[in-house]
Structure 1
């Protein structure tokens, strides 16, 4: 099956006044804003793959997260360019914690940093600029002339991190898809993926694409082609210490050199096409059924009690304020939406899961799926963590309950856990004892992914 491809890279590194806000995303606590200092530029990159039946579009961005309403705004605008087929458009973020905060809902800039209404309005202004830039990038890339290419896939290994949630899995797989020009077999583009939190720089006020940007630079400089990084199931994968600017270069060089070595050696597998795409959304229940009036009253009382427990300058106090406001406004959410997407390229399956997915899902799906399977996460939208059943059951006994979303009470968001910063009222659904039961988070996610892979 003949392929053709177009690729475009945009340096979108925010600067004032084009971007009304330079508040940064990715770490909680004290307000954190950029003041014009940039280390490694932030990229948005778009690749169009056409198998003769129309464009399939991958958009990847150096940003920590994209909330649901931002994802939907971008998707709605570009869908006509891909035949109004949801499966044909996919966004992946690198999850660098050294980029701008995009969106004002989940995570909540008020809960995370106690920002004023004026500052939150500025973030919304930056979000509008961001949305328009991403839409324009897709439009421009789709309109470009496409180069006939052949596609090839290969996997390698390197280690730049560890499992911070005390789980047994350390993901070391490098997935790589290269395009070669049909005319002369010269290298055209490199797409590569790895699973590790993009936090190797640490918490400062400098814009930086972190180790994915450093690795991309190593590959592009060595091979002379555009290179795109895609994040994996990194929810519990932490880069090696110490977190520092020097570690960005060190880990990025390790990963980048591994990819260069892969490209320069043999063993590549032909990706034959055609491309079949699929898109689905599942709704994961929360641990508390907030559609039950009695449960909602209990939750409201609990969050009122939290206002008496924490000082007003604590993010758990601000989270309780936000939850109580929802009781008297739109009501608390009842489900956690999760888009899932598959690209079957003929010889290669790409499975993309939204949110901060933990490594257990990647390992389970890889083990049960024959053939080449590239797991991507942080896909389309990122509004929280999707942990496996054992982490959800463990609560604060693993990594202080951060990935589980609860600490001493599984009916509430845990102070200092992801459900607080992403502004959710309770953890995701799990059964407190035994294996994952029907209707639990793990079963819903694995069953949905397995069903999609079997289409």
Structure 2
């Protein structure tokens, strides 16, 4: 096993709309598409299901995109009712489809619902072909659906303003640590996007909690509590809501005493988000500039999936075809990509392709010198868990090599690079060559 981090291979792509004159206003557009599979396919998330096929739809799975533009620089953020972000091959297809539109960056984020479809299966022997053809077909069609949703949002751009507000709400708990007191990240942040007339165009909601409130033996598709949260917001605000998972690797829902189940929890969280949306309506508007940095990394692993014994163990925990695809993706190490976006000089978004532990988000906020610094989990990929170093030392599910095979300290390294990007995009390193 490799225990050290390989030196990052940095392919740094930075687009600065803030470099010249600030635009007079943002422009924004929103679009939604149903991405619920039409045929039974294996469900993502709970290992106990193995490859059991889905059994109908409890509530639809959506892809919702918002495109933000300022000064000719465009950022797309997509909220997906899926367990993870798109695979590297899917991300390449999405970027290729959107290339003529000139996006500075795309952040495609799974909510991490455990009632969405497996999307990793491919049209290869022992990786899905023949046994899981419906899932393979779904995965093949998904990138085009996501790209089409982004394109539709891009076609709907209109003048907009952006404001944000955040507060701590005690609606999540630390499911991992045995240390007392158990630390959490209770920060709920909303980003309000308004039309020129002041009416709401969209609300982005960032909160860290696993959407695992429906039981594993429920084999229906569901957005879990984020779907109920959206419905609560949209019923009052009359505008679409996007749930953006935070650093929820070790965070589970913590319902108030009088709240039961995912629907009630989602509504309760939605009410908190609506209160913040009202507060944000009178906040200082974000300066209309967009800057984006996309960075690639190369890390070693704590667990060798090329080892047949490890693959056999993983295959028994999940199912062999899924493990074969993961082993191929992680062959020779892990190469995650991070995307960091800066809106004006007040909102930082850091997309991580996996399940970061909450400590990464709280430390980013402490260090970023921004009113709002948000971690978006399950963004543009999924390299399993990113525990903090101290959580990995404590061990346990999500922090051990089986579920966190990426090299120790990888999460810290990615967040350090994102922090550098956030400062660099604000011109905080004068005299750099």
- The normalised TM-score by structure 1 is 0.77
Partner residue, 1:409:
none
1:25 aligns with 2:44: yes
Moved over 4 A (4+): 303-307, 316-323
Q: State how far apart, in whole Å, the 1-side matches of 2:243 and 2:413 are.
A: 28
Structure whose residues are more often helix by fraction: 1
Relative to 1, partners in 2 of residues 1:132 and 1:117: Cα closer, same or farther, differing over 3 Å?
same
| Equivalence map 1:36-435=2 (5 Å) | 36=56, 38-65=57-84, 66-83=86-103, 85=104, 88-104=105-121, 117-144=129-156, 146-166=157-177, 168-182=182-196, 184-203=197-216, 204-240=218-254, 247-265=261-279, 268-287=283-302, 300=307, 303-304=308-309, 314-315=316-317, 333-346=331-344, 347-372=346-371, 373-395=373-395, 398=396, 402-406=397-401, 414=402, 418=403, 427-430=405-408
Match of 1:13 among 31, 36, 41: 36
Unaligned runs of 5+ in 1: 291-295, 407-413, 420-426, 431-439
The offset of 1:71, in angstroms, is: 2.2
User: Is the contact between residue 356 and residue 411 of structure 2 (CA under 8 Å) also seen in structure 1?
Assistant: no
User: Is the contact between residue 68 and residue 382 of structure 1 (CA under 8 Å) also seen in structure 2?
Assistant: no
SS at 1:71's partner residue? helix
Which digits, 9 at most, give the CA deviation of each residue in 1:262-321, with x for residues without a partner?
A: 223465232112111111111122136x7xxxxx9xx84xx55996xx7x9833895999
Partner residue, 1:449:
418
The offset of 1:332, in angstroms, is: 7.1
Relative to 1, partners in 2 of residues 1:176 and 1:443: Cα closer, same or farther, differing over 3 Å?
closer
User: Is the contact between residue 73 and residue 291 of structure 2 (CA under 8 Å) also seen in structure 1?
Assistant: no
User: Is the contact between residue 383 and residue 406 of structure 2 (CA under 8 Å) also seen in structure 1?
Assistant: no
Q: State how far apart, in whole Å, the 1-side matches of 2:140 and 2:277 are.
A: 38
Relative to 1, partners in 2 of residues 1:98 and 1:442: Cα closer, same or farther, differing over 3 Å?
closer
The offset of 1:54, in angstroms, is: 4.1
Which digits, 9 at most, give the CA deviation of each residue in 1:354-398, with x for residues without a partner?
A: 211111111111111112212211111113111111222333xx2
Partner residue, 1:423:
none
The offset of 1:6, in angstroms, is: 1.0
User: Is the contact between residue 57 and residue 82 of structure 1 (CA under 8 Å) also seen in structure 2?
Assistant: no
User: Is the contact between residue 194 and residue 231 of structure 1 (CA under 8 Å) also seen in structure 2?
Assistant: yes
Relative to 1, partners in 2 of residues 1:82 and 1:89: Cα closer, same or farther, differing over 3 Å?
farther
Unaligned runs of 5+ in 2: 1-23, 425-433
SS at 2:298's partner residue? strand
Q: State how far apart, in whole Å, the 1-side matches of 2:411 and 2:220 are.
A: 37
Q: State how far apart, in whole Å, the 1-side matches of 2:227 and 2:28 are.
A: 22
Q: State how far apart, in whole Å, the 1-side matches of 2:148 and 2:136 are.
A: 18
More deviation in 199-208 or 65-74?
Answer: 65-74
Relative to 1, partners in 2 of residues 1:27 and 1:241: Cα closer, same or farther, differing over 3 Å?
farther
SS at 1:283's partner residue? coil
User: Is the contact between residue 285 and residue 441 of structure 1 (CA under 8 Å) also seen in structure 2?
Assistant: no
Q: State how far apart, in whole Å, the 2-side matches of 1:72 and 1:53 are.
A: 23
Q: State how far apart, in whole Å, the 1-side matches of 2:310 and 2:381 are.
A: 32
Partner residue, 1:435:
none
Q: State how far apart, in whole Å, the 1-side matches of 2:319 and 2:41 are.
A: 25
The offset of 1:180, in angstroms, is: 1.9
The offset of 1:90, in angstroms, is: 1.4
SS at 1:69's partner residue? helix
SS at 2:225's partner residue? helix
- The CA RMSD measured in Å over matched residues stands at 3.2
SS at 2:335's partner residue? strand
- The normalised TM-score by structure 2 is 0.81
Partner residue, 1:35:
55
